[in-house]
Amino acid sequence: MTLSQIDEEVAKLLQLKAQLGGDEGKHVFVLKTAKGTRDYNPKQMAIREKVFNIIISCFKRHGAETIDTPVFELKETLTGKYGEDSKLIYDLKDQGGELLSLRYDLTVPFARYLAMNKITNIKRYHIAKVYRRDNPAMTRGRYREFYQCDFDIAGQYDAMIPDAECLKIVYEILNELDLGDFHIKVNDRRILDGMFAVCGVPDEKFRTICSTVDKLDKMAWEDVKKEMVNEKGLSEDVADRIGEYVSMQGGQDLAERLLQDPKLSQNKQACAGLTDMKLLFSYLELFQVTDKTSSEKVRTTETQVLVASAQKNLLEERLKLTSELWNAGVKAEVLYKKNPKLLSQLQHCEETGIPLVAILGEQELKDGVVKLRNVASREEVRLISDQNH
Amino acid sequence: MTLSQIDEEVAKLLQLKAQLGGDEGKHVFVLKTAKGTRDYNPKQMAIREKVFNIIISCFKRHGAETIDTPVFELKETLTGKYGEDSKLIYDLKDQGGELLSLRYDLTVPFARYLAMNKITNIKRYHIAKVYRRDNPAMTRGRYREFYQCDFDIAGQYDAMIPDAECLKIVYEILNELDLGDFHIKVNDRRILDGMFAVCGVPDEKFRTICSTVDKLDKMAWEDVKKEMVNEKGLSEDVADRIGEYVSMQGGQDLAERLLQDPKLSQNKQACAGLTDMKLLFSYLELFQVTDKVVFDLSLARGLDYYTGVIYEAILSQTIPAPAEQNGADEAGVSVGSVAGGGRYDGLVGMFDPKGRKVPCVGVSIGIERIFSIMEQKAETSSEKVRTTETQVLVASAQKNLLEERLKLTSELWNAGVKAEVLYKKNPKLLSQLQHCEETGIPLVAILGEQELKDGVVKLRNVASREEVRLISDQNH
């Protein structure tokens, strides 16, 4: 049958269905949401708001903007972008106008937005619902309407810095959400492809072997190897060679070692990937992402600096400095006390998680200095004013 | 063929079509959004966030919770609820499963939610997009996807108190949004119906005459009268009698006067409405909003499901904007209208299998209209709208300071400071300063070789160029 013949037959059958009363014969008040969708009740909304606030604060802290796109796109915008998954796209009925489909993810709309507005550089986040007609038998309990929360950096930049920032953001978010311990796996498409090449995987099998290797997080190596050999037609030798590599984990040291690997070092792609992996890890160290012991307390305020005094009669100076900080957009607090004790001011910081305290003291004021202390580490920095403050 | 056999055959054919590659022949990237929809760019999102924060703060201040519902409902849920407007509903394609439609408003999903969860009392707000296939020729510039912002109080309570709170909320929101002067018209379905009855309108013409009266905010009385007489078949006498009433406006005093009106006072419905109107005004006085509320007999509002008080908020400064998208539920709300609502006691009962009534009163804020007003204000104002909230850019004055920049930026992030760093190993100081000016970042931390040796970081106020030198007691 040709496509148009199929369309004709479908149309005839739907017409017949409509005539038979379709699903409209019954006027029962069906009190349900559509399959695969759900309401959010107030409790769920409160939790959702908390999670969004943490995530969005992180994005904003990193200087990201946000955009929004329509819930449906022109069908042709989504056509040909999702491969096999295209059959899961929700189409709108042809009601005599443009053919439309509900968005399947936020990435294709993002690409359309960039191209449409001729944007070459942007750091954006987008939190919105997407729609997939998942087959209920296959994926019991999965939603067909669900949130996606994307962060992307578009543009030509010096290598690996934006990549490192993305990882820093994931790290910050997972810490703040307080979900327990986590780890982030990194790899590189070029290293994978180089690895397949030196193991003897034929070029045309790269992608399909890649999706088999991907199953290692769910299946044991023996089963993955079986699939490679029995279903994907690799020889046992090749599979074993792959097996040696994919069992490797490490940090910057692994990247160094692999650059010395006799086979991999001959592969141009792998070398490029490994060199960038080393660079990435050096930035991750500067970003302190390799440190796993930090876990931030969930705060209810966003205050960054408490303006405090070490002696009495410094209320005026405290208020003035606080006001200047607010004018500069810094989130600052000051205790509503004319002569608070330093200890209670520090306690307030610890209780509410304020990270920095600016301590005004008589002697320092004479010297034109303000001490800025990191509450957690107690490290101090002395601010010298060039002006009369 | 039975229905299920049809479904099976359709599924098989669609499967075959998908295998044949469906519509995937062409791989052109068409660079448009669907008709009647638009993207929100970062500036618009920043304005949107500001507006939502003001509105949501107000709802929260009044103790409202929020819910969310799916973007599409079962087609049968929406069927029969919108009268003539039903043809504007977006349907999803029959792909072998349930028949679905995109939600047309937030009120019907709310009624479904209440009935489904057997809820009898709730004070809820819901801000989300709704979908209407407006005919572009008729309503040029209107969006087909637009935000609605609804606040509703459901439950059996003592008369008019929740109704008064809704008006107080509209008042607070419009004040805080700083959109200039506004007034809120109130009326009551029962007063309207009573008025029509005593003027001699036949029962079966009530609703259609109501929608004609509704046009008084856009058309002069002469034209409205013409429509009543020529198109809707009223006699001139009846039309004139209506004309006398609908020109009346006032406050609690008007309600008092009308309760003395020889004809109206004989009509039970009108009396009930007028008594409640007096009560409403007494509460509005306690809430201190009477300075902006007017009892206006010409206010009609199109929707069928209102059963009691109805209201509409109108900005005095009508900035004529091309995309006159209102958040109200029906077409034909006047220019300058930014909110509308009323009491609808019968809707939830339509969803409940036992027909249990849950009385509701609510308001819909015309948020798209507010967005476009705020966007226009932003354009004409000298103040720049920032699209990010970054406070500090970490910059370097010389080459080879990337490591120090990344370290300091990371420490700032760890301390919760909103910071950025350019993705360049050796950026020029000038381009870093320019980035601050373009995006409104107020402070720049400048790292320099000499300063690093001295253990100092310069913190500069971008606008004023004032600098402060941060001396580190540790090795940084």
Full set of structural domains in chain B with CATH = 42-320+334-380 (3.30.930.10), 392-471 (3.40.50.800)
pLDDT in the model for residue B25: 46
Residue B184 has pLDDT above 90, yes or no: yes
Q: Find the helix or strand (DSSP H, E) in which B209 lies.
A: helix B206-213
pLDDT in the model for residue B433: 96
A105 is in an annotated binding site: yes
pLDDT confidence band for A298 (50 / 70 / 90): very low
For residue A277, what are its two tokens? 């992996």
Report the 10 Å Cβ neighbour count for B229.
16
Helix extents (H) in chain A? 3-19, 42-61, 75-78, 107-116, 161-177, 189-199, 206-213, 221-226, 236-246, 252-260, 268-286, 315-327, 342-352, 362-367
As a whole number, mean pLDDT of residues B14-24 equals 60
pLDDT in the model for residue B331: 35
Percent of residues, chain A, with pLDDT higher than 90 = 56
pLDDT in the model for residue B20: 60
> Cα distance from A159 to chain B (closest Cα, Å)?
8
Residue B347 has pLDDT above 60, yes or no: yes
Residue B92 has pLDDT above 50, yes or no: yes
Average pLDDT value for chain B? 87
In chain B, residues with a C-beta closer than 8 Å to the C-beta of A77 are 29-30
The string of DSSP letters for A92-108 reads BP--SS--EEE-S-SHH
Residue B349 has pLDDT above 70, yes or no: yes
pLDDT in the model for residue B26: 47
B437 with B462: CB under 8 angstroms?
A: yes
pLDDT in the model for residue B5: 76
pLDDT in the model for residue B138: 46
pLDDT in the model for residue A27: 42
Would an 8 Å CB–CB cutoff place B65 in contact with chain A?
Answer: yes
pLDDT in the model for residue A374: 92
As a whole number, mean pLDDT of residues B285-302 equals 90
In this structure, of A15-19, A343-347, B121-125, B254-258, the range with the lowest mean pLDDT score is A15-19
Per the document, the length of chain A is 389
In this structure, of A121-125, A165-169, B164-168, B379-383, the range with the lowest mean pLDDT score is B379-383
> Cα distance from B163 to chain A (closest Cα, Å)?
22
As a whole number, mean pLDDT of residues B309-338 equals 61
As a whole number, mean pLDDT of residues A44-52 equals 94
Residue A334: DSSP 8-state: E
A364 with A389: CB under 8 angstroms?
A: no
pLDDT in the model for residue B28: 54
For residue B433, what are its two tokens? 């300063």
Task: Count CA atoms within 13 Å of residue B288 on its CB side.
Answer: 2
pLDDT in tens, B23-63: 544 445 679 999 999 999 999 999 999 999 999 998 988 88
Which has more pLDDT, A54 or B304?
A54
pLDDT confidence band for B189 (50 / 70 / 90): very high
pLDDT in tens, A158-200: 889 899 999 999 999 999 999 999 989 899 999 999 999 999 9
> Cα distance from A372 to chain B (closest Cα, Å)?
9
In this structure, of A315-329, B176-190, B289-303, the range with the lowest mean pLDDT score is A315-329
Residue-wise over B61-96: b if at least 16 C-beta within 10 A, else e? ebebbbbbbbbbbbbbbbeebbeebeeebbbbbbbb
Residues whose CB falls within 8 Å of the CB of residue A205, separated by 6 or more in sequence, listed in order = A196, A232, A233, A234
CA angle (A360 as vertex; A358, A361 as ends), nearest 5:
145
Task: Count CA atoms within 13 Å of residue A369 on its CB side.
Answer: 13
Residue B240 has pLDDT above 90, yes or no: yes
As a whole number, mean pLDDT of residues B328-355 equals 74
Residues whose CB falls within 8 Å of the CB of residue B181, separated by 6 or more in sequence, listed in order = B315, B316, B317
* Contact flag A74-B30 (C-beta cutoff 8 Å): yes
A280 with A163: CB under 8 angstroms?
A: yes
* Contact flag B34-A98 (C-beta cutoff 8 Å): yes
Would an 8 Å CB–CB cutoff place A24 in contact with chain B?
Answer: yes
pLDDT confidence band for B330 (50 / 70 / 90): very low
Residue A28 has pLDDT above 50, yes or no: no
* Contact flag B70-A145 (C-beta cutoff 8 Å): yes
pLDDT in the model for residue B17: 66
Residues whose CB falls within 8 Å of the CB of residue B364, separated by 6 or more in sequence, listed in order = B105, B106, B107, B148, B149, B150, B151, B327, B328, B329, B339, B340, B341
Instruction: Report the chain B residue with the minimal C-alpha distance to residue A144.
Output: B70
* Contact flag A80-B27 (C-beta cutoff 8 Å): yes
Which segments of B304-425 are extended strands (E)? Answer: 309-315, 337-343, 360-365, 392-396, 419-420
pLDDT in the model for residue B149: 97
As a whole number, mean pLDDT of residues A31-59 equals 94
pLDDT in tens, A212-224: 998 988 899 999 9
pLDDT in the model for residue B79: 87
SS3 at position B315: strand
* Contact flag A287-B406 (C-beta cutoff 8 Å): yes
Residue A317 has pLDDT above 90, yes or no: no
* Contact flag A29-B352 (C-beta cutoff 8 Å): yes
Q: How far is CA B106 from CA A144, A148, B135, B189, in A?
A: 20, 22, 21, 21
Pairing type for strands B65-66 and A369-374 reads unpaired
As a whole number, mean pLDDT of residues B18-24 equals 55
pTM for the model stands at 0.77
Residue A140 has pLDDT above 90, yes or no: no
pLDDT in the model for residue B318: 54
pLDDT confidence band for B139 (50 / 70 / 90): low
A295 with A178: CB under 8 angstroms?
A: yes
pLDDT confidence band for A17 (50 / 70 / 90): low
Instruction: Report the chain B residue with the minimal C-alpha distance to residue A13.
Output: B6
SS3 at position B80: coil
The string of DSSP letters for A176-189 reads HHT----------H
pLDDT in the model for residue A299: 56
Q: What is the 3 state secondary structure string of B404-421? A: HHHHHHHHHHHCCCCEEC
Beta partners for residue A15, in sequence order: none
Task: Count CA atoms within 13 Å of residue A142 on its CB side.
Answer: 13
What's the CA gap between A161 and A159, in Å, rounded?
6
Per the document, the length of chain B is 476
What's the CA gap between B3 and A22, in Å, rounded?
7
Q: How far is CA B208 from CA A273, B83, B222, B231, B259, in A?
A: 72, 12, 17, 10, 26
SS3 at position A265: helix
SS3 at position A258: helix
As a whole number, mean pLDDT of residues B98-106 equals 95
Residue A94 has pLDDT above 70, yes or no: yes
Return the closest-CA partner of residue B212 out of B301, B275, B133.
B301
Report the 10 Å Cβ neighbour count for B457.
21
pLDDT in tens, B121-130: 999 999 999 9
Prediction ipTM score: 0.82
